[in-house]
């Protein structure tokens, strides 16, 4: 479950490359593109420019390099030529990347054009909730501390936390122990130790927490069709705190 310093260094390199993928997305004019077009651009960038592997492609039979989850889609959205990104949309891009045998996993919710104030606030609070979870990570802390910090922040702003999906250990495999819940009680659960690596990836809904999976077997949506947002990072427990392995250049304050 814990990784050596050398393994974490390799994961950090995968994380650095994955952060650059989001930098690439930041520079794209996304309006009017289909989510399949974005997927294809990202796959080409990972393979040709970064000489890495999109780890989601082929995982559990998934055919694409990324998940594209728009508006009421909570997670696992499937790229499609008919799913066009439009003014006012929220869209989460969830991407995994493997380099030298180690995987990094991260996601970011983008605001496209003139997003409603309610949508903007949801995205801001979801990012803040992820940060609260990251700040709870240190040796001797408990997994429940992460979920408690996230849920408390979400509820303080009137949002619900999706319970069906959680963070996870990561390394050579995309999904390893432990499960990292985004809700829970402080001072409960597994004790964190130096060398653990896992994702923190809360999904917050503007309405109720209830979700359902569509007929494609992948796409998860809010039952009440309310907006949903998500952010995700891969982190490592360090001797005296936490290191965000997928840190983007605009997020240096998370690097403590």
**Which segments are annotated as binding site?**
76, 94, 105, 168, 175, 201, 232
* SS3 readout for the chain: CECCHHHHHHHHHHHHHHHHHHHHHHHCCCCCCEHHHHHHHHHHHHHHHCCCEECCCCHHHCCCCEEEEECCEEECCCCCCCCECCCCCEEEEEEEEEECCEEEEEEEEEECCCCCHHHHHHHHHHHHHHHHHHHCCCCCCEHHHHHHHHHHHHHHCCCEECCCCCEEECCCCCCEEEEECCCCCCCCCCECCCCEEEEECCEEECCCCCEEECCCCCCEEECCCCCEEECEEEEEECCCCEEECCCCHHHHHHCC
Annotated binding site for substrate: 76, 175
Annotated binding site for a divalent metal cation: 94, 105, 168, 201, 232
């Amino acid at each position: 479950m814990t990784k050596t310093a050398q393994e974490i260094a390799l994961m950090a390199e995968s994380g650095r490359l994955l952060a650059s993928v989001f930098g690439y997305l930041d520079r794209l004019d996304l309006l009017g593109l289909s989510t399949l077009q974005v997927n294809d651009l990202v796959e080409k960038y990972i393979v040709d420019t970064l000489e890495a592997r999109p780890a989601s492609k082929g995982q559990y039979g998934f055919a694409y390099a990324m998940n594209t989850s728009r508006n009421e889609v909570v997670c696992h959205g499937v790229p499609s030529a008919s799913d066009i990104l439009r003014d006012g949309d929220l869209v989460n891009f969830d991407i995994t990347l493997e380099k030298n045998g180690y995987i990094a996993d991260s996601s970011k919710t983008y605001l496209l054009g003139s997003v409603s104030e309610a949508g903007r606030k949801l995205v801001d609070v979801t990012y803040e909730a992820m940060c609260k979870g990251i700040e709870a990570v240190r040796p001797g802390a408990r997994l429940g501390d992460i979920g408690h910090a996230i849920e408390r922040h979400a509820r303080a702003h009137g949002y619900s936390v999706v319970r069906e999906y959680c963070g996870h250990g990561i390394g050579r495999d995309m999904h390893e122990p432990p499960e990292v819940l985004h809700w829970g009680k402080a001072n409960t659960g597994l004790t964190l130790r130096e060398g653990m690596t896992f994702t923190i990836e809360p999904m917050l809904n503007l309405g109720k927490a209830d979700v359902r999976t569509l007929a494609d077997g992948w796409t998860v949506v809010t039952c009440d069709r309310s907006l949903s947002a998500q952010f995700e990072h891969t982190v490592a427990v360090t001797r005296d705190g936490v290191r965000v392995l997928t840190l983007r250049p605009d997020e240096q304050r998370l690097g403590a």
